[in-house]
Amino acid sequence: MADPRFFKKDKAKTLEDLAKISGGVVHVPETAKLMIEDVGPLDQAGAGQISFLDNVRYKQMFASSKAAACVVAPQMVEFAPKSMALIVSKNPYKSYALIAQVFYPDAYPAANISRAAHIDPSAAIGSGCTIEPGVVVKANAKIGDGCWIEANAVIGEGVEIGPKSRIGVSASISHAILGAAVRLYPGVRVGQDGFGFAIDPAGHVKVPQLGRVIIEDHVEIGANSCIDRGAGPDTVIGAGTWIDNLVQIGHNVKIGRGCVLVAQSGIAGSSVMEDYAVLAAQAGVAGHLTIGKGARIGAKAGVMKDVPAGEEHLGAPSMPVRDFMKQVITLKRLTKDQKSE
């Protein structure tokens, strides 16, 4: 059970209610009214708790689990312990996520504007917002209804933030328009100048960065990540894209819908990630390239040319993952041969 100092649990629910919420179905109708009080991992959950099985590797753990209930895929039902109630779902992990969300809702604090926040009189603050101490909201900024601006965050002049967004501790935003339900984690930097200048031994000459950052609805940006504003065009983060911690997004970059960028990855100026593309941890994409729709760039890859839609690339310089794996094997084999000479 989650530590009650940090997490508030909602009240118990019937298996039937959880099935409805999760998009699954109760396997044995007689268990529909079973009361479930909490979620828990397969090997720890017990009476009153629901778990999930998503990976066939844990089948054994599942078979001996003492969880009162479990979310499983249809093909796993037969391995369930006799006493376990089941919700059957084609996507057990997603179903479990939805169930965990009802037990532990992402609750915002009661609306309150701290007297220790510094809000310019020309700023427009929506109804039902929480603005914590030390927050600075500059002239003409607009903050939508029900936003939560955490302590010491700074909202720049003219910035617009859609409803139900949450801006983390000490985050900073300038030259940006944010949609609804956007979440910036602590220390995120949005809207500072891109790294654009004419190199000159007599002193680099800055090219004024005249674009903005546009962040669409339901985007999440992880702690201490940086999104530079455009040089002329905007930098755009598409709806539903999730960005992890310490990620770098250069100026003019366009990221589509539902993309995933894992920790410490980076994408250089003017490159494009089409919808649902994935950039794994510590990967990098050079400037002016396109990562096609649904393409997957592996961890530590260094992308130096366009990646077609749907392909999976790895290596630096990156290549299709099967080619990379062949090269790894070839080099290993040749090294062995050299030794035996």
Active-site residue, 204 included: no
Q: Quick check: bond before 133 cis, omega within 30? A: no
Comparison of 8 and 33: residue with beta carbon closer to its own copies: 8
CB 165 within 8 A of CB 180: yes
Alpha-carbon distance of 252 to 209, in angstroms, equals 10
- We find the least distance from the C-beta atom of residue 147 to its own copies, in angstroms, to be 18
Comparison of 31 and 248: residue with beta carbon closer to its own copies: 248
CB 131 within 8 A of CB 119: yes
Alpha-carbon distance of 307 to 319, in angstroms, equals 9
Query: Of 204, 251, 288, 313, which is the active-site residue?
Result: 251
Phi, psi of 324, rounded to the nearest 5 degrees:
-60, -45
Comparison of 14 and 224: residue with beta carbon closer to its own copies: 224
Tokens of 299: 């961890």
Instruction: Report angle CA 177, 181, 184 to the nearest 5 degrees.
Output: 70
Residue located via tokens 């009214």: 33
- We find the least distance from the C-beta atom of residue 314 to its own copies, in angstroms, to be 9
Closest CA relative to residue 304, chosen from 262, 314, 294, 295: 314
Name beta bridge partners: 227: 190, 249
Comparison of 128 and 242: residue with beta carbon closer to its own copies: 242
CB 282 within 8 A of CB 316: no
Alpha-carbon distance of 262 to 271, in angstroms, equals 17
- We find the least distance from the C-beta atom of residue 80 to its own copies, in angstroms, to be 21
- We find the least distance from the C-beta atom of residue 319 to its own copies, in angstroms, to be 8
Comparison of 126 and 302: residue with beta carbon closer to its own copies: 302
- We find the least distance from the C-beta atom of residue 30 to its own copies, in angstroms, to be 29
Consecutive H or E run containing 101:
helix 92-103
Mind telling me the catalytic residues? 251
